[in-house]
Structure 1
Amino acid sequence: MLTDTYGRKFSYLRLSITDVCNFSCNYCLPDGYQCGSDRDFLSVTEISRIVATFAELGTKKIRITGGEPSLRKDLPQIIAIAKQTPGIETVAITTNGYKLLEHIDSWLSAGLNSLNISIDSLDPRLFNTITGHNKLPHILKGIDKAFELGCTNIKVNSVLMKSFNHQHMNYFYDWLKETPVTVRFIELMQTGDNTSFFNEQHVSGTQIKDDLIAQGWQQKIRSQTAGPAEEFYHPDYAGNIGLIMPYSKDFCKTCNRLRISALGKLHLCLFSDSGISVRELLQSPDNTMLKNEIAQLLTNKKSTHFLHDKLVGATENLAMLGG
């Protein structure tokens, strides 16, 4: 398995297949998607070679991200390729849910194991204010359909914002009473484009964690391929709560994931100074050079993301790499 100079093992790849997003969330793309490069995204063949190479290096989990990955019509084919790759145990996707209701059946048929949907508020009006789309009822119907089709590993991501959903967290708690999903509250992260918004809206997850424990929520043990969330369960609730706190102490200590951008660049961290192109090595059917290059590049991975120092690297917005 891939291991860096700090002893961290990497069994999880976040694979972006497009940087295009059709939402205009106030914390990410408030002016909507702006095309900043040639939209020459990874082909299915290139994606297949990336997945196979990382599987040979010990990767067990692939998360398909964007932008919004469902904007690619070949998404079911990409899911199937990942699922059928020897060594890959879990194929997940993170989506805004816009096309969930219409396409969840094809995603599950292709082999999808885990579904993450971004929902920053359960108040339809506030959801519209945050995302620029009045789609909450449609997305919730998509989640219901996913349950009906047998998908049980469903997570909902909600970015915490002081003047927005932080005041309405009880909506999520009430929903979790009867709904067996995991709602993950994510601390707003500073990027190159959102400094003023971050300073106005950032909420620390530490107090939320203390409140959960005081209310009888208990922390779950994290699996080897799990993401960075600290998850909690309560005997009186059907669902769970997760907290992603990138500004907490030792957040990077358990890092287990690498990222490939939709343009074929390896990102050692979401907030690295730049991605390193490995696309030219995808043109060969022999994965040896690509494997050696990834292993060598991993020796440059830093011990932390340096967010505490207000250093956000080349990350202008979260849509660039799907978070």
Structure 2
Amino acid sequence: MQLEDTFGRKFKYLRLSITELCNFKCNYCLPDGNACDTPTGGLSIRQIETLVQAFAKMGTSKIRITGGEPALRKDLVDIISLCKQTPGIDKVALTTNAYRLNKDAQKYKDAGLDALNVSADSLDPRMFAAITGKKKLEDILQGVDSALAAGIKTVKFNTVMLKQFNYKELSSFLAYLKEHEVTWRFIELMQTGDNQVFFERNHVPGQAIKNTLLTQGWERIIRGGDAGPAQEFSHPDYRGNIGLIMPYSKDFCDTCNRLRVSSQGKLHLCLFANEGHDILPYLEAGDVDATVEAVGLSMKDKKATHFLQEGFTGATKQLAMLGG
């Protein structure tokens, strides 16, 4: 069985949020930290097991564990292991702010983690603290070194480009890639339900960065079948690569291959969908077949595009709700 929508797009990639909580206060996401009404619970291990088995049965081969900050869950290593040991799941990835990475990188690798995305919005310690609310840059960079030493071969940084903050640091990121065999991904700031003014002041079109790269000799890399939405580039003079995630670019949604499930057990057909489809009752019952049926029926509601260009943000108030 292979999940497919009414537009012929096939879905092999699940982004699974295991918590809405985050311990950073990034100015583009949670400038005031988590709200008092943020759910503190998440899917149980058994519920996650049912979910992962169901998606594997529907042809999913890649799972990315996200949050909030997934490392706030003490059972993260068990969740990684569960996903990796599920027949049909070939790749397990993790997106994290890396606050525990230096301590736990080897545990993640031993549990079966294949790929790691680390949020790092500046290479300047003061700017990093201004954006995230945390003086943790050195810890994060050490954590990445530990992950590479542990044998996690696919490591990527995620940076949200902000006009008033880190946009002038492009040369610093490029200098890092001269010496480090990682991918640095620049993400267009997206408008959400609570950041309209910040968005208007700080949005940087990804095409502007792409034009700069092309003039400097960077060349496009063909993306893999289970890859996310990034356009990736390489350069013979650099050990690392660059990725661009440009949700406001034309045809961004044409190659969509991923679905999302929130920590509250809702299936989101798009990051900016109006609402999630509640599949929690089937997960609570441990019913794999019923979960498969519910997800399959929901696919008819998937839209051709996210409508971001029209200012539509759906139910996403901030990105920690669903892992970006």
Normalising by structure 2, report the TM-score: 0.98
Residue 272 of structure 1: CA displacement? 0.4
Match in the other structure for 1:118: 119
Residue 64 of structure 1: CA displacement? 0.1
Q: Indicate whether 1:107 and 2:108 are aligned.
A: yes
Match in the other structure for 1:201: 202
Residue 37 of structure 1: CA displacement? 4.5
Are 2:47 and 2:286, in contact at CA under 8 Å, matched by a contact in 1?
no
Match in the other structure for 2:11: 10
Residue 41 of structure 1: CA displacement? 1.1
The SS at the match of 1:45 is helix
- 1:37 and 1:280 map into 2 onto residues whose CA distance is 21
The SS at the match of 1:9 is coil
Q: Indicate whether 1:73 and 2:44 are aligned.
A: no
- 1:285 and 1:150 map into 2 onto residues whose CA distance is 34
Match in the other structure for 1:257: 258
Residue 149 of structure 1: CA displacement? 1.3
Q: Return the letter of the residue paired with 1:58.
A: G
Aligned length: 323
- 1:38 and 1:154 map into 2 onto residues whose CA distance is 30
Match in the other structure for 1:292: 293
- 1:98 and 1:37 map into 2 onto residues whose CA distance is 20
- 2:294 and 2:44 map into 1 onto residues whose CA distance is 20
Match in the other structure for 2:90: 89
- 2:16 and 2:55 map into 1 onto residues whose CA distance is 11
Match in the other structure for 2:244: 243
What root-mean-square deviation, in Å, do the aligned CA atoms of Structure 1 and Structure 2 show?
Answer: 0.8
Residue 38 of structure 1: CA displacement? 4.0
Residue 270 of structure 1: CA displacement? 0.2
Residue 147 of structure 1: CA displacement? 1.3
| Identity across the alignment (%) | 56
Match in the other structure for 1:43: 44
- 1:296 and 1:169 map into 2 onto residues whose CA distance is 44
Q: Return the letter of the residue paired with 2:195.
A: N
Q: Describe the superposition over 1:38-77 as per-residue Cα deviations: whole angstroms up to 9, x where unpaired.
A: 4331000000110110000000000000000000000000
Structure 1 gaps of 5+ residues are none
Q: Return the letter of the residue paired with 2:18.
A: I
The SS at the match of 1:223 is coil
The SS at the match of 1:2 is coil
The SS at the match of 1:34 is coil
Aligned runs of 1:1-323 on 2, under 5 Å? 1-323=2-324
- 1:80 and 1:149 map into 2 onto residues whose CA distance is 16
Residue 214 of structure 1: CA displacement? 1.5
The SS at the match of 1:177 is helix
Structure 2 gaps of 5+ residues are none
- 1:52 and 1:119 map into 2 onto residues whose CA distance is 32
The SS at the match of 1:158 is strand
Q: Return the letter of the residue paired with 2:32.
A: D
- 1:35 and 1:58 map into 2 onto residues whose CA distance is 38
Are 2:157 and 2:184, in contact at CA under 8 Å, matched by a contact in 1?
yes
- 2:286 and 2:42 map into 1 onto residues whose CA distance is 19
Q: Return the letter of the residue paired with 2:196.
A: T
Q: Return the letter of the residue paired with 1:185.
A: F
- 2:202 and 2:287 map into 1 onto residues whose CA distance is 48
- 1:299 and 1:81 map into 2 onto residues whose CA distance is 29
Residue 227 of structure 1: CA displacement? 0.2
- 2:39 and 2:107 map into 1 onto residues whose CA distance is 29
The SS at the match of 2:130 is helix
